[in-house]
């Protein structure tokens, strides 16, 4: 008998092309994108927070991680100059025009308020 119920955590979507981002955006949910790279200390700091967002808002927000080394077309489209950079998309016309953008570290409560303002809702605890 297990003492703790194991629940499967929702993880961010890994994307490496502009076509993948467009398909994710077409679902109609807000899309939070984390542009990161392997040897980036601040990216590693933000990784856990981004994973928490994906799990906590799993039903109403698509959280996407883009490794800048593997997605030159996405990096070019969003004009990524540094990592981590975060972009929030929320457009019914499937536009890739960001509603919000930030480079560097961000507090979790700020991100939660931001995605909730765009329509994301905390998933119910099961």
Q: Is 40 a catalytic residue?
A: yes
> In this predicted model, what pLDDT tens digit does every residue of 27-59 receive, in sequence order?
889 999 999 999 999 999 999 999 999 999 999
Q: Is 43 a catalytic residue?
A: yes
Considering the candidates 13, 40, 96, 122, report the single residue annotated as catalytic: 40
Domain segments of the chain as ranges: 13-116
> In this predicted model, what pLDDT tens digit does every residue of 58-103 receive, in sequence order?
999 999 999 999 999 999 999 999 999 999 998 766 678 899 999 9
Please report the sign of the dihedral spanned by the C-alpha atoms of residue 80, residue 103, residue 87, residue 49.
positive
CATH of 13-116 among 3.40.30.10, 3.40.50.450, 1.10.260.40, 3.40.50.150: 3.40.30.10
Considering the candidates 43, 71, 75, 114, report the single residue annotated as catalytic: 43
Q: Where are the alpha helices (DSSP H) in the chain?
A: 18-25, 41-56, 72-78, 108-117
DSSP codes of every residue in 93-104: T-----SEEEES
């Amino acid at each position: 008998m297990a003492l703790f119920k194991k629940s499967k955590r929702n993880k961010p979507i890994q994307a490496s092309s502009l076509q993948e981002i467009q398909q994710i955006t077409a679902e109609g949910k807000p899309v939070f994108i984390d542009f990161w790279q392997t040897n980036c200390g601040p990216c590693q700091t933000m990784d856990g927070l981004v994973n928490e967002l994906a799990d906590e808002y799993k039903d109403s927000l698509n959280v996407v991680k883009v490794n800048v080394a593997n997605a030159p077309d996405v990096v070019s489209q969003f004009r990524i100059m540094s990592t981590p950079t975060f972009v929030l998309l929320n457009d019914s016309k499937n536009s890739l025009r960001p509603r919000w953008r930030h480079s560097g570290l961000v507090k979790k409560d700020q991100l939660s308020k931001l995605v909730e303002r765009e329509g994301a809702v905390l998933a119910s605890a099961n």
